[in-house]
Amino acid sequence: MSLFGKVKNTINLFKNIDLDQLAKINQAIDLPEAMQALGNLDERQLKGLMRMLKTKRRKGQHDLPPIDGDFYNLDLKLTPEQRELQLKVRNFMEDEVRPLINDHWNRAKFPFEIIDKFKKLNIAGVPYEGYGCPNLPFLMEGIIAQEIARVDVSISTFFGVHSGLAMGSIYLCGSEAQKEEWLPQMQRLEKIGAFGLTEPNVGSGVAGGLETTCTYDGENWVLNGQKKWIGNATFADVIVIWARDTATNEVKGFLVRKENPGFKAEKMEDKMALRIVQNALITLTDCKIPEKDRLKKADSFKDTANVLRMTRAGVAWQAVGCARGAYESALKYTKKREQFGRPIASYQLIQNHLVEMISNLTAMQTLCFRLSELQDEGLLTDEHASLAKVYCSMRMRDVVSRAREVMGGNGILLEYDVARFVADAEAIYSYEGTKEINSLIVGRAITGYSAFVS
């Protein structure tokens, strides 16, 4: 190029340069060094750099929609007071629980320091009336389960066992004296509860095959047997134990206190899911329980089933929370993670995964919302609860799998949260009735034929 041409190009260049902006850039970086580095780039590299810079300007983070798993705005159906409580629980989980949860999950330890903070939420025993309980709709119990599981499924399980299964057993099956003794303390989380139904040899067949026995000796009930997978049991103050009466063959419920002679709870180790939940193997050896601690309104497995029906909706909501947490974590990641000079969220294959995830999540949310409405209207049946558990646990699995996939190798690292959701989803899929058992409950309702093994 001639000297005249170089001068002409230089003049045109200065016409298009913002000298103030150039001075600002010079303060932030070594401009001569940057110019030298740019001069060493080939044409392909320079074009790639320009595409990246243009993409940054065109799709700045401030222009992106918020990360929100409630695609159909179901929160708008809540009253202002209900929405306020939902956000109160969400803020608690974000501020108090999220910062410490991965460390405790990794070490299989329970963060006992959060219990005192949990008390201030005043959410234990959400749908129960009296005894210091909030007496809110079952819908809010579901919303709260979702919000807790959205950050951590283990904490949601701890809360569901205490507030749902343990308090629910006392609320539905206890005498007035038992309710007065336990429910106010449990509502304030001064006393923690657990629920012992599953056994080493008996899972889905508990209705007709409980091996734990209870025998009345004229003064006390003597319990013998084992319970397995009992959440909270290593530190609970009271454990609801279900046992088969040797005299009548009927199932009865008992309030077993941790100090009762003959009661032993051993922590289960080496779990791949719900590592924060302190599951125990309980051994009852001639454990004597006074008549006053027998649940007075629990005389058959039908009474046990009433408790499970009431709480199964909460497990479906847990699945929603697990899926929502995984989806939102994955969406956040795809907006920040860049490959080939662009956020991976801008690629078609990633967007397809994200749309499949939000579709599943939205279907789960709307199903559970209606389920809770049926419960509040007094119309909830076993098959309603079972259908929600089946569908939501299956769709949850798909959502967490896709969340891990869009994150690539980082999806197996705890720091990105999704690995924890993937593992914990497997526990939700199995407990509170397996897919097979819940499917048979729904199948019996829609066909009129029972396919259960007799």
Q: Quote the pTM value.
A: 0.84
- The DSSP result for 338-362, as a single string, is EETTEEGGGSHHHHHHHHHHHHHHH
**Counting Cβ atoms within 10 Å, is residue 42 exposed (0-12), middle (13-18) or buried (19+)?**
exposed
Region 10-30 average pLDDT: 67
DSSP state of 268: -
Give kind and range of the element (H or E) at residue 179.
helix 176-187
- Beta strands 220-230 and 342-343: pairing type? unpaired
Query: pLDDT tens, 366-416?
Result: 999 999 999 999 999 999 999 999 999 999 999 999 999 999 999 999 999
- Give the pLDDT of residue 58: 46
User: How much of the chain, in percent, has pLDDT values that exceed 70?
Assistant: 89
Region 305-328 average pLDDT: 93
Q: Pull the structure tokens for residue 305.
A: 């089933």
Distant-in-sequence, close-in-space partners of 248: CB < 8 Å, separation ≥ 6: none
- Give the pLDDT of residue 53: 62
- Give the pLDDT of residue 4: 55
- Rg over alpha carbons for the chain, rounded to the nearest Å, is 28
pLDDT for 56 beyond 60: no
